[in-house]
Every structure is written in C-alpha cells, then in structure tokens.
Structure 1
C-alpha cells in the first residue's frame, strides 16, 4: 500500500527534535499502528496526522483512530454498568 502525504501535514518540517507541525513535535508511529490507513510517510519515517504521540493512544488499549483494528465485545457480551446508577435502580425496585 503506497502511503501519501495528506493535506493535513502540508507545511510540516523535519527538525532535529522530529517532525514539527504548527509548533507540535510529531512522534513516529509505533508497531501497533502498522496497517492503519492514516499513516503518512515523510522523509522515510511514518507519522500519524491524527495524533502527535501515537504510543500514548495505545497505552490504554486500542487507538480510537486506528482504521485496521475493530472494537471487540467482552467474552460474556456484558456491558459495563455505572455502580451508582445500579444502586439507585436497586433501591427503586427495578
């Protein structure tokens, strides 16, 4: 798949610190980002135009910008219920 420079990163400049775009230093993508359609290659390095620090987006699970990963439902198919709401429902008899 050929990666292209999108209009979102036009004007970005490679500096000694990394890719600078509108005063923000963009970090290269991490291995988990491989396969994402958003990846842009600039000077033989891959960057994410949606988020400056891709590693942080993967810190708590799946990156919400990832186009190559789909959300999964837990094995029991249950949804998380707010404990405060659950206690109020129990008090009302629902």
Structure 2
C-alpha cells in the first residue's frame, strides 16, 4: 500500500509578487503539474511546495519531482554507455 503524503503550505503569505513561504517567492504551477500529488492549493491558486518555480523545472523535459509522470527511455530505446568504458571493454574483448 502506498502512503499518500499530505503537503501543506502552512504559514504562507499572499503578496503582490506571489506566494511567500519561508522567505521564498513561489510561482503558481503550470499545466504540466496538474495531477501531481505534491500540488497544494492556497487561496484558490495551486502551488508546488517542493519547487518554487515549476515552469523552470519542466523546461528541460520531465520534472523529477512529478508523481504523475514516469521517466521514459532514450529516443532509440538504448541505455547510454560511457564511451571510455565501452572502449576499455572492447579492448579486453568483452
């Protein structure tokens, strides 16, 4: 059985710049964050308590904190191998 962790932003203050929590200004979540268990709602808006700027987390692919998305294989479906190790293995005859 998986435990569902309840996430809260207790003590957060809504300001003109955004939501301030423990001295950090937090930006609202992006569409890709919808469905994540970590998202917490404060005054009608949804925020990620794990990462202050979720759109930057999604900029290079999948957010590593996302609970609703699984990591995918490389485009070719192959495991990436260190070229230095590969050349040493080839030299030994493996």
TM-score normalised per structure 1? 0.82
Distance in structure 2 (CA, Å) of the matches to 1:11 and 1:51: 17
Distance in structure 1 (CA, Å) of the matches to 2:75 and 2:83: 21
**Correspondence for 1:90:** 90
Q: How many residues align?
A: 89
Q: 5+ unaligned residues in a row in structure 2: which ranges?
A: 1-5
Q: CA RMSD, aligned part only? A: 1.7
Aligned runs of 1:15-94 on 2, under 5 Å? Answer: 15-74=15-74, 76-94=76-94
1:40 CA drift (Å): 0.7
TM-score normalised per structure 2? 0.82
**Correspondence for 1:11:** 11
Deviates further, 65-74 or 43-52: 65-74
Q: 5+ unaligned residues in a row in structure 1: which ranges?
A: none
